[in-house]
Amino acid sequence: MTPVEDAMRTKITQALNPTNLEIYNDSSSHSHHKAMQGTVSKETHFRLVIASEAFRSKMQPARHRMVYALLKDELERAGGIHALQLKTRTPEEEEKLMAQERAEKGQHVADVENK
């Protein structure tokens, strides 16, 4: 883990008590971009997947605003987070998605076995 990732994990865990939290640091894939030239930070691009009860009854924009507010310092700091991709779900939405993925994998296996 890295300092920015650690800070994000701590803030999100304390505020949202997520049932699932995945943090992907994609910074190395973007370090060659012109906008990143001269940036000393190697922690600029992240993808987050968060499942939390705190998102219940909130639309995606409101959920994203909650996360942006938590990570305000990391987003505003010079050399801080340049890009943040969010997937925010309730635990039920997460479980439904996982069940759908398991069913699709089972279907693909059945398709291969039947050929």
Burial (CB < 10 A; 0-12, 13-18, 19+), residue 7, is middle
Tell me the average pLDDT across 73-94: 90
The pLDDT tens digits for 32-46 are: 444 444 555 567 889
Which residue, chain included where needed, has tokens 């700091």? 77
Who wins on pLDDT, 24 or 78? 24
The pLDDT tens digits for 56-69 are: 999 999 999 999 99
Can you give the pTM of this predicted structure?
0.78
User: What percent of the residues of the chain are helix, what percent strand, and what percent coil, each to the nearest 5?
Assistant: 55, 15, 30
